[in-house]
Amino acid sequence: MLTEDEKELGVALVDIGGGTTDIAIYERGSLWHTAVIGVGGDHFTNDIAVGLRTPVPDAEKIKRKCGCALSGMVDEDETMEVASVGGRKPRVMARRILSEILQPRAEEIFHLVWDEIRRAGYEKSLNSGIVLTGGGAILDGMPEIAEQIFDLPIRRGCPVGVGGLADHVNSPTFATGVGLVLYGYRNSMGDASRASRSARARSCVPPGGCAACSGNFSKRASSHADQER
């Protein structure tokens, strides 16, 4: 997801998850700072539910299907169907209304992220810009708003280094899940390798002690036998 060049020059990974937004800042090839902000994608959904007076499950569907965090990217004549509460009939509404609900929340998230970056003193270290990931990053208009607020290069980050199901997980939504799987796999392989080396080392030691001691014992035993003869 992050390239070695980005980590070396300085980059911030911003993972917009369901309940939180996580920040990881890399510079000179190493991780230097992490932070968690208590605002995420679920807040978009709740804003839609309240603003459009629609059930939360339907608000989530509307966000995924029609959501755009930058109202300027939505044509005024675009419409969408919105489910009503209490068994009332669905309504047809302008899609721009949805964007006008989402944009303030997106701006809030990025302003909070920028405040944290400045508080930590890394605002001048992000020479590679910012990489957005997580389910909240797939919302249309998020990179554009981020560019306006950060005035830095912005891109979406997708999982890399996976095969087989890559087509199904090649989305910022699965970045954390794929990362945890890869982390667990690499560490389990490391543990297996260490266990294998340890087993090979044990197999080389004769019963009764280390190889050096056993060798000395064999020499002493041979010398004693010669004296007896």
Provide the domain count of the chain: 2
Least confident of 98-102, 186-190, 210-214: 210-214
Q: Report if residue 19 sits inside a domain.
A: yes
Please report whether residue 174 resides in a domain.
Answer: no
Q: Using one digit for the tens of pLDDT, what is the confidence trace for 137-159? A: 999 999 999 999 999 999 998 77
Q: Which tokens go with 121? A: 């003193």
Do residues 32 and 124 both lie within one domain? yes
Interval 4-41: pLDDT, tens: 999 999 999 999 999 999 999 999 999 999 999 999 99
pLDDT-derived band of residue 171, with 50, 70 and 90 as boundaries? low
128 and 200 part of one domain: no
* Token duo for residue 214: 């056993």
Report the chain's mean pLDDT, rounded to a whole number. 84
Q: Is residue 133 part of a domain?
A: yes
Domain co-membership, 114 together with 51: yes
- pLDDT of res. 198: 64
Query: What does the pLDDT read at residue 223?
Result: 54
Q: By residue range, what is the domain housing residue 77?
A: 1-157
- Is 190 found in the same domain as 153? no
**Do 14 and 110 belong together in one domain?**
yes
Does the residue 165 lie in any domain?
A: no
Would 97 be classed as within a structural domain? yes
DSSP class per residue in 107-155:
HHHHHHHHHHHHHHT-TTT-TT-EEEESGGGGSBTHHHHHHHHH-S-EE
Question: Which run of H or of E encompasses 57?
Answer: helix 56-66
Tell me which H or E stretch contains 26. Answer: strand 21-27
More confident residue, 4 or 193: 4
Mean pLDDT lowest among 101-115, 117-131, 201-215: 201-215
Does residue 34 share a domain with residue 133? yes
The residue whose two tokens read 């997580």 is 134
DSSP-based three-state secondary structure for 32: strand
For the chain, give me the number of helices (H) and strands (E)? 8, 7
Confidence label for 98 from pLDDT (cuts 50, 70 and 90): very high
Question: How far, in Å, CA of 227 to CA of 181, rounded?
Answer: 65
pLDDT tens-digit map of 44-96: 999 999 999 999 999 999 999 999 999 999 999 999 999 999 889 999 999 99
pLDDT value at 211 more than 50 = no
For residues 40 and 127, state if they share a domain: yes
Of the pLDDT bands very low, low, confident and very high (cuts 50, 70, 90), residue 217 is very low
Residue 163 lies in a domain: no
Cβ atoms of 130 and 152 within 8 Å: the answer is yes
